[in-house]
Amino acid sequence: MKSSSERLYPGDIVEVKAPDEILQSLDIDGTLGNLPFMPEMVEFCGKRFRVSRRALKTCIYGPVIGMLGFSTDDILVLDDLRCSGAAHDGCQKTCTIFWREAWLRKVDDSGVQSNTDRPGRQRLQSRLKTSTGPKTYFCQASELLKVARPLSRWEKFGGCIGEVRARNCSAFEMARRIGIWLFWRIRKMILGQYARGTQKTTPVESLNLQPGESVEVRSIGDIRDSLNDKACNRGLQFFSHMRLLCGSRSRVRSRLDKLIVDGSGEMRQISNTVYLEGSMCGCEFSLGGCPRNEFAYWREIWLRR
């Protein structure tokens, strides 16, 4: 473990190391401590970014649903760096990329970028795998259960202190997150799942929305009519934070037609679902917060042109 003075913290400027340096840190599967260095990350070699936060835990939606704690304390998130999915059959999940400290070096400013040679990039690319079978993919999302483990309730509370120590947020901000989490926890215990409906078989609506189109989010009453008693429409949950956009206008960022499932590597086909600009998951207000910051998924039946 690095000393406090050697570790990287939010706000630090870092440079992604050269391909050959990263190659030396990887095992035969192209991972370091079971965390893959993905082909989509090679383009960032030699470039400089700002550390967004230290990643102590992450949410997961797949065979396991909930919050996982990373087994090591050397994982970071850089400002708005997401996976393009280009090397994984066009996966559209746009996951936030996790970075080991061993792949980064601290620099003084973000102005000068290092040059990386093409042969070095090719050598690194040749080590990185993208699948484990004809229908399963290999990426950071697929390997989450090898990099992190489920947390007990007390570990989640302890993680709140860790977030403050890691300088991810102030004590005041953490108290605010815990308050929001506590409110929704108590509400669910008393009233049940927010926005739950009564449908046994949830309806489908196809608008064929395209990136750039303007939409209006339907009222919470209209949306509730499309949900079952778990607040889901065909398995996709309408989360409490999404209510904030009800009645407002937004713009379609992109369609969501396929994504790799966390923990399994399966490519799942999705229909009649889009991302909206600026609409993110509510994990920031889970107990202690989560650095993954995924886009919220919107069924087209919850929207109108």
The pLDDT tens digits for 147-157 are: 999 988 889 88
Structure confidence at residue 63 (pLDDT): 75
The share of the chain scoring above pLDDT 90, in percent, equals: 78
Last residue in a domain, options 121, 137, 153 = 153
17 and 142 belong to one structural domain: yes
pLDDT in tens, 222-270: 999 999 999 999 999 999 999 999 999 999 999 999 999 999 999 999 9
Residue 18, domain extent: 13-153
pLDDT in tens, 203-219: 999 999 999 999 999 99
Question: Residue 294 pLDDT more than 70?
Answer: yes
Instruction: Judge whether 79 and 14 are in contact, CB under 8 Å.
Output: no
- Provide the whole-model pTM: 0.91
Instruction: Judge whether 95 and 142 are in contact, CB under 8 Å.
Output: no
Q: What is the mean pLDDT of the chain?
A: 92
Residue 103 sits at φ, ψ, to 5 deg, of -95, 0
What is the domain count for the chain?
A: 2
141 and 257 belong to one structural domain: no
Residue 172 domain-assigned?
no
Choice among 73-77, 112-116, 129-133, 168-172 with the minimum mean pLDDT: 112-116
Instruction: Judge whether 177 and 289 are in contact, CB under 8 Å.
Output: yes
Structure confidence at residue 2 (pLDDT): 54
Residue 176 domain-assigned?
no
111 and 220 belong to one structural domain: no
